[in-house]
Structure 1
Amino acid sequence: MNIIENHYYDGERALFGLENTELKGITFGSGESPLKEAKNIKLQDSIFKWKYPLWYDTGVEVENTTFETMARSGIWYTKNITVKNSALQAPKLFRRAQGIVLDHVHFANAEETMWTCKDIRITNSQINGDYFGKDSENIYLDHVSVIGNYSFDGAKNIEVHNSTFISKDAFWNCENVTVYDSTIDGEYLAWNGHKLKFINCTIESEQGLNYIDELEIVNTSLMHTDLAFEYVSRVTAEITSKIDSVKNPISGKISAPAIGNLIVDSDKVDPSKTEIACAKIGAKVDRSDQNQKPGD
């Protein structure tokens, strides 16, 4: 393998089509697409300052490298890339890429990042920015912090461990999601999903967990969570905390030590199809009865 060390490159497509090369201590200055269509390269202790650094590449290893703010739209259409111990400051970094491994990375601005990507593994990392992971699939997260709204919209086949999400509208329109031992804080969690599981988690979500088909929750607390399970079918929920309110579940079983308000519109859902196992319900309201005229 060739080696290039301690060099500064400027201008467009500076190392276009580079193959079988180790790059150490390299700074890529102004100039788009410095490593476009590269194959089998290793980058270490380097800096990207400008746009589109790694497009259409195959077999890339990156370590201790910085993608500065203007290295935006940086890694598109690339296959089999590993990034470790690196600072990723630029937005829109990953698009339509496949075979992505990230470990100990920090996304300072992950806005519109990791869109329509496949086969993603992220560990021990921090992600800050809205719309991370949109329409991506085959995703594994472990010890990851996500701060930013609308994360993983439309994604599928997601497995999460030991992670934290501060994210409004996380996991919307998702399919086949399992979250273990994690904390989720944000409004309107996981609407319009299919086959979602939350196991040993802590969740705080205003009007969270609605419009879902096949929802399983095990040994999980719903802190200050109201209007939960609206139009959720085939729910199996084992909640360890009080639920502020539950509204119009379609079918399944919900167990909790207490529910503040149970709201059922029997003209919209069949109450007999959902078992509510709860020793303490503060108020039970069927609003379809309230809409009836006197004497009906």
Structure 2
Amino acid sequence: MKLIKEAYYEGERPLFQQKDTQIIDTSFGKGESPLKESRNISLTNSLFTWKYPLWYSKNIEVEDTTFETMARSGIWYTHNIKITNSSLQAPKLFRRSSKIILNQVHFANAQETMWSCQDIKITNTTVNGDYFGKDSKNIYLDNVDLVGNYCFDGAKNVEVHNSRFISKDAFWNCENVTIYDSKISGEYLAWNSKHIKFINCTIESEQGLCYIDDLVLEHCKLLRTNLAFEYCKNIDADIISDVMSIKNPISGKIIANSIGKIIRDDYEIDHKQTNIMIKQGNLKLLKEAK
């Protein structure tokens, strides 16, 4: 494998179609597409300062490397890339890429990042920015902290563990999402989605969990959550907290410690299709909520 060490490049496409190369302690200054169409590249302790660093690339490993603010739209149409212990400061970094592994990465500005990508694994990572993960699929997250609205809009086949989301309109228009042992805070959670499951999660969401087909909550808390479940069908919800209010569910079963208010103002819904129950003390006896 060729070695490039302690080098500096600028100008357009300085390492175009570079192959089978280890790059160490190297900086890429002003100039677009420094590693476009590259193959089998290892990058360590390096720096990208300008746009489009890794387009149409394959088999890339990146460690201890920084993508500065102007390295925007940096990784598009790239396949089989692993990034560890790195700082990703630019927006729109991933687009239409696949086989992405990220570990111990910090996204300082993840606006419009990870769009239309697939086969993604992200662990021990922090994300800041709106519209992260739009229209992507086959996603695995573990120990991810995400702050930014509209995350994972239109995503499919998502599995999440031990993570925290502060996000308005998170997981809209999604399909096949399972979230374990996580905290989610933000308005209007998971509208217009189907096959959504939360297990051992804590949720805070104004008017969250509406317009969902096949919604499961196992051993979850719904704290400060109001107007929940509107136009949801096929609900199976075991809630271990109080719920502020429920509105117009279509069908299924809802069990909670208590329910502040049940609103039924859509008279076209057959409310007999939804069994709403509350727990009685520590014995967990059930009765129909009125």
User: Which TM-score band (shorter chain)?
Assistant: over 0.9
Alignment partner, residue 136 of structure 2: 136
Q: Which residue of 2 aligns with 1:294?
A: none
Deviation by residue 1:36-58 (Cα, 9 ceiling, x = unmatched): 00000000000000000000000
Distance 1:134 1:85 in 2: 24
Residue 265 of structure 1 deviates from its aligned partner by 2.7
How far did 1:83 drift?
A: 0.3
- 2:151 corresponds to 1:151: yes
Deviations 1:74-115 (A, max 9, x none): 000000000000000000000000000000000000000000
- Match for 2:110: what amino acid? A
Normalization by structure 1: what TM-score?
0.94
Cα distance 1:266–1:279, how it changes in 2: closer, same or farther (>3 A)?
Answer: farther
Q: Tell me by how many angstroms 1:267 deviates.
A: 1.3
- Look up the SS of the partner of 1:127 in the other structure: strand
C-alpha separation in 1, matches of 2:263 and 2:221? 20
- Taking structure 1 as reference, are residues 25 and 274 closer, same or farther at Cα in structure 2, changes over 3 Å only? same
Equivalent position amino acid for 2:39 in 1: K
Could you say which residue in structure 2 is the equivalent of 1:288? none
1:207 and 1:2 map into 2 onto residues whose CA distance is: 57
Q: Which runs of 5+ in 1 are unaligned?
A: 285-296
Question: 1:77-156 counterparts in 2 under 5 A?
Answer: 77-156=77-156
Identity level (%): 63
Residue 268 of structure 1, CA deviation: 2.6
d(CA) in 2 for partners of 1:62 and 1:261? 53
The one-letter amino acid paired with 1:31 is G
For residue 272 of structure 2, give the secondary structure of its aligned residue in structure 1: helix
Q: What residue in structure 2 maps to residue 43 of structure 1? A: 43
Residue type at the aligned position of 2:124: N
Q: What does residue 210 of structure 1 align with?
A: 210
Q: Matches of 2:250 and 2:170 in 1, distance apart?
A: 22
- 2:200 is aligned to 200
In structure 2, what is the equivalent of residue 171 of structure 1? 171
**Structure 1 position 279, deviation (Å):** 4.6
- In structure 2, the gaps of 5 or more residues are 281-286
SS of the equivalent of 2:7 reads strand
Displacement after TM superposition at 1:278 (Å): 1.2
CA deviation string 1:157-193 (max 9, x = no partner): 0000000000000000000000000000000000000
Q: What is the DSSP-based 3-state SS (H/G/I as helix, E as strand, rest coil) of the residue aligned with 1:278?
A: strand
Instruction: Quote the Cα distance in structure 2 between the aligned partners of 1:12 and 1:222.
Output: 52
Alpha-carbon deviation of 1:277?
1.1
- Whole-angstrom CA distance in 2 between matches of 1:14 and 1:266: 64
Deviating 4+ runs (over 3 angstroms): none
Q: Which moved more, 1:263-272 or 1:3-12?
A: 263-272
Return the letter of the residue paired with 2:48. Answer: F
> Taking structure 2 as the reference length, what is the TM-score of the superposition?
0.96
Q: Which residue of 2 aligns with 1:252?
A: 252
- Corresponding position of 1:291: none
CA distance, structure 2, for counterparts of residue 261 and residue 137 of structure 1? 37
1: distance between equivalents of 2:35 and 2:118? 22
Q: Is the 8 A contact 2:255 2:279 kept in 1?
A: no
**Alignment map for 1:225-264 (pairs within 5 Å):** 225-264=225-264
Q: Cα RMSD (Å) of the superposition?
A: 1.1
The aligned residue for residue 4 of structure 1 is 4
- Match of residue 283 from structure 2: none
Equivalent residue pairs, number: 283
Cα deviation, residue 221, structure 1? 0.2
The CA distance in 1 between the partners of 2:202 and 2:181, in whole Å, is 8
